[in-house]
Structures are given as C-alpha cells and as structure tokens.
C-alpha cells in the first residue's frame, strides 16, 4: 500500500508545534548603499551627505529630511543665477559713427 506514513508516536500531553521559517534577512529598513561621488561644491556635497541620514531615520522622518535637502540644493542653484560685482555690459552691435569706436 502506498498511503501516507503514520505519524511518529508522541509522548502523552505533548503538542505538535509548527516551526516558522526564519527570514533570510531581518525585516525592517535597510540602507540602500548608494555611493555618492563628491561634486566639488561644498554646499551640494553637504546636502548629498545628509541623504545618508535617511538610513537611520524612521520612515516618518524621511519627508522632512528630503524637503530640507531639496531646499538647500534649490538655494545653491538659485545662487548660481545671482552674480556678484557690477553687471556685465550688454552686447550691442558695432555701429558706424559711435564716438568710442576706433576706426583706422
């Protein structure tokens, strides 16, 4: 007969227990391990370095940290549009008869 094998005898009062499979990795957040190359811009590099903090924050803290880094990077970009010193001369085409033109 090819039926199921009988269960092994158990001691009186013993209960069968199910063995739960252990997960291969612990549950919960894990660092992404994304490498960040330096940009050479201290403010940008500092903002990117702050992104590593996300690995140590609960998920509820990610949004605030991301918004802060985004704000800092946006400020760096905005500062690129601001030039220090006198404004650059606007380009004007050369016109004959201009007093500052040196015709020879």
Give the pLDDT confidence of 5-37 residue by residue, as tens digits: 665 566 566 565 555 666 566 566 677 777 888
* CA-wise closest residue to 52 among 65, 39, 41, 63: 65
The per-residue pLDDT for 52 is 81
Output the DSSP codes for 55-103. GGS-GGGHHHHHHHHHHHHHHHHHHHTPPPSSPPPPP----TT-TT---
Whether pLDDT at 74 is above 80: yes
Check: CB of residue 72 under 8 Å from CB of residue 47: yes
Say if pTM beats, i.e. exceeds, 0.85.
Answer: no
What token pair was written down for 20? 């739960």
Report the chain's mean pLDDT, rounded to a whole number.
75
């Amino acid at each position: 007969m090819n039926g199921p094998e009988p269960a092994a005898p158990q001691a009186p009062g013993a209960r069968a227990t199910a063995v739960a499979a252990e997960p291969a990795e612990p549950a919960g957040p894990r660092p992404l391990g994304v490498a960040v190359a330096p940009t050479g811009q201290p403010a940008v590099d500092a903002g990117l370095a702050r992104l590593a903090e996300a690995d140590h924050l609960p998920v509820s803290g990610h949004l605030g940290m991301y918004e802060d880094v985004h704000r800092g990077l946006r400020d760096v970009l905005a500062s690129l549009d601001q030039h220090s010193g006198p404004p650059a001369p606007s380009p004007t085409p050369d016109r004959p008869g201009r007093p500052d033109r040196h015709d020879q």
